[in-house]
Every structure is written in C-alpha cells, then in structure tokens.
C-alpha cells in the first residue's frame, strides 16, 4: 500500500492534523500494523514538499504547534491516478518456503517436515482470521477474506508439493 496516496485519500474529504490522520489510518487500515507518528509526519513533509498537500492552519498547543493539512488539486489528481492504476499481481515465484523445501532436499533433511510445520501454521492463522472475521465489521471481514483466500492457495500449494516431493527430490539432487 502506498502510504502517501492513502494519506492523500484520507485528506480529501477535509483537512486534518497529523494526529487525526494517524487515527483515521489505524481505524481503517492499521489493525495489524498501526502507523508510527514519525511515518505520518515524514510522509506529510514529503507530500508538502511535492505540492500535494498544504498547511491550512497552525494551532499553538502545550507541545509543538499543530499543523492542519489539506490536499491540493495536484494531490487530488495524484490520488485519482493511483486509484485508476491496477495493482500488479504478486505471483511469489521465488518465495522463502520454496527455498526452504529445496534446501532441505539438497542437504538431506526431511522437506516433508517443513511442509507439515507450515501447514500447521497456516491452519492456525486461518482459524484466527476466521474468529476475527466473525466479530469484525465489514471492512475487517473483507480484509480477513482476502488473507484467507491467499492462505487457502498456499495450502493447495503445500499439498501439491507434498504429493510431488519424491519427484522434486530427484530433480533437485540430480
């Protein structure tokens, strides 16, 4: 996810302080990985430098002055272009799990054990996401569904690889 465009999108309805942006981001997108304030302010600084946001007010407080940011017309254009551009599918053609399986086979270790441990971990996470889905709002349910579908595809790969492990071992060792 592009943090810059996400912050711009959150600013489009109305101007906000950095604190408000962090809170809005965390509520909608940061359940598992909330933003650090430093990320918000560093991103706002870059957006300001690039003319995508502007400061529309400064309020004195007990600490540093609180700046209120608004999106510029260039920022709106940037968000529109980002939203219209399709995301590249990530096929994970060279992932860590595949590397572990091949290295286990190369070194004479039981690759099927790696697949079993990974299957157990995938199933544990799927149960956790399914529980989270039942108590979450619609946005949380959709995020969990996205993750669950990817985990299901991984499980299919784990099963296929386990079924073909002897053939893979012969190929790897030759």
| C-alpha–C-alpha distance, residues 171 and 174, integer Å | 5
Edge to edge, the sheet with strand 66-71 lists: 16-17, 66-71, 53-59
User: Do residues 57 and 9 both lie within one domain?
Assistant: yes
The whole domain housing 134 covers 96-173
| C-alpha–C-alpha distance, residues 6 and 27, integer Å | 13
- pLDDT tens digits, residue range 17-38? 999 999 999 988 887 788 999 9
Q: Using the 8-state DSSP alphabet, how is residue 34 labeled?
A: P
User: Do residues 100 and 34 both lie within one domain?
Assistant: no
In a domain, 40, yes or no: yes
Residue written as token pair 């889905």: 133
For the entire predicted model, the pTM comes to: 0.69
Q: Which residue among 84, 112, 147 closes a domain?
A: 84
Query: Which one, of 110, 120, 129, lies nearest residue 154 by Cα?
Result: 120
- pLDDT tens digits, residue range 52-82? 999 999 988 777 778 999 999 999 999 999 9
């Amino acid at each position: 996810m592009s943090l810059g465009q996400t912050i711009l999108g959150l600013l489009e309805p109305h101007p906000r302080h950095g604190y408000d942006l962090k809170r809005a981001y965390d509520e909608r997108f940061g359940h598992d990985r909330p933003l650090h304030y430093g990320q918000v302010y560093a991103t706002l600084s870059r957006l300001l430098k690039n003319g995508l946001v502007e400061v529309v007010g400064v309020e004195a407080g007990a600490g540093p002055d609180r700046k209120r940011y608004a999106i510029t017309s260039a920022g709106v254009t940037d968000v529109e272009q980002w939203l219209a551009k399709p995301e590249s599918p990530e096929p994970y053609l060279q992932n860590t799990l595949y590397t572990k399986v091949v290295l286990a086979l190369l070194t004479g270790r039981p690759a099927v054990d790696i697949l079993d441990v990974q299957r157990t971990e995938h199933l544990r996470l799927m149960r956790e996401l399914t529980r989270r889905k039942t108590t979450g709002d619609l946005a949380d349910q959709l995020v969990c569904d996205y993750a669950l579908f990817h985990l299901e595809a991984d499980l299919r790969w784990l099963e296929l690889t386990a079924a073909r492990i002897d053939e893979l071992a012969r190929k790897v060792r030759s």
